[in-house]
Structure 1
Amino acid sequence: MNKLNAIAAALLVSTGAAHAAAPDWSKVPAAKFTVFYPGASPIEWITKGSEHGGARALKKGESCASCHHEETADMGKKMASGQKNEPKPIKGKAPAIPVAVQAAHDGANLYLRFSWKQPAGGAEKMDKDNAVKLAVMLEDNKITRANLSGCWETCHGDSRTMPEGKDDKKTKYVADANLAGGKFYDLIQWTSKGGKFDGHVADKRVMEGGKALVDAKGEKKGDEWVVVFTRKLSGGEGDIALAPGKTVNFGFAIHDDHAAGRFHQVSLGYTLGLDAKADLTANKQ
């Protein structure tokens, strides 16, 4: 190997690009999750106890998923129809979307693959540029209740698209955020227009600055969407450090049918483990 080739190879290794070959997905089992329309259901509604019986369960250390995993589709129907927690129902809104999620790693990168069938739509096109957006959030067991409530710790009643939201610039945030202390959510996103974002949610949502996301690709094959993220196990500020044997909190959301703001379909909070038992396990390939 000559000097120039040696330098090029070293750069590939240092950036993770040399390891960024997608796994053989036919050999990776798929976990099944259903994302659902949450309506106007911020963490404050969940925890205040007067309208949601789960507040007592949370105090006992029971997770949202332990109670609701099997009924997310029914929950979505109630909220999409306006029967519960949605003052302005959206005509044509899909109440829930079943999603197959696969995960693997190669010691340098984590690979996440999401696939789902496009549901019927027809709602108002809030985001005219993007038919679909998919976001993933990871949390390192530092935020209070994140292991129980998932991404709901970033969802607050005063956010801009909530009925009581007053500040058009106020997005997701963590009440007791401490970026330097690890109290944040790592956020990566793919958009159908071709965008990929690597940021975090701490005292506010930031859609840039992360160093872990290598690539995010998606396409629609027939009536099925397939999105694949490639993420380095470690990055920089705002990136959760992953490692074999480690388990972190995991959730994702799909902005379907040109949706924006809170008008997405979301998962409950789950766990992601690398070579470790979890709701979604990424084994080494």
Structure 2
Amino acid sequence: MYQLIAFDMDGTLLTNQHLIAPESQTAIQAASQAGKEVVLSTGRALVETTFYRQDLPTVRYAILASGALVYDYQEEKVLAKQAIPASIVDIIRKQVAEEDLMVVAMIDGQVYVQASHVEGIAAYHMSPYQSLYHQVAVLVENSCDLLAQERNHFEKINLYHRTKEARDLTYQLLSQESITIVKSEVSGVEVTAKGMEKGQGLGFLSRLLDIPLAACIAVGDADNDESAMKVAGLGVAMGNANDRIKDLADVVVADNNSGGCAEAIERYLLNNYPTKK
């Protein structure tokens, strides 16, 4: 019944140690050998996925930057991209200038972060990503300058705050604009162009590969997975997913540290295990 499965990364395909479990790798290999398509569906930029390519040799396609970039690893080619309007970037830059925000900005698959924010990353509740940013990010002196200089080129901008309350205020402010915005991590919001979500990216790939959305599975744990789970034929929530995503999902599997991704492949992609649908 199902021909494609799309995995979120953080909190889903990745364990809490930011690794792909051996059982997940084995299940993905089995799916590929059975002629199924396994794709990534992540809020990460392209450069943030490069560490995992050796563990995912059969994964060809990725929905990146929460749908704003779709990429073909085999051809090393961008298949689709949508930048945030410059006028929206100007509004974000004004907010960043007025508030104490950590900016993680993405341009053509590369990540840009202010160097001082990486050093003080704990204040923004993003410590698990410090090593990653040191390895893959372009560190800039000032985020506001970057937002001004590259205002036409951002596919995604993440804003991290010192408190959830400050995050919620930013969310309320930016929600008034013509954009796609979701809450993420402990204190972040993710901004993409209007309509640029994982669900849109999944729709693009389904057309490209001639696989009906009804034959697609979307697996995730957080709010930015909602759109993909809604358009897919089967929405799968991880055991560690937030309550809203669990309520939205058709089925719930084990958590990201307990083989949930392998379970999703074995039960629903390979064996058509009965679902709530």
Superposition TM-score, scaled by structure 1 size? 0.25
Superposition TM-score, scaled by structure 2 size? 0.25
Give the structure with the higher percent strand.
1
Give the structure with the higher percent helix.
2
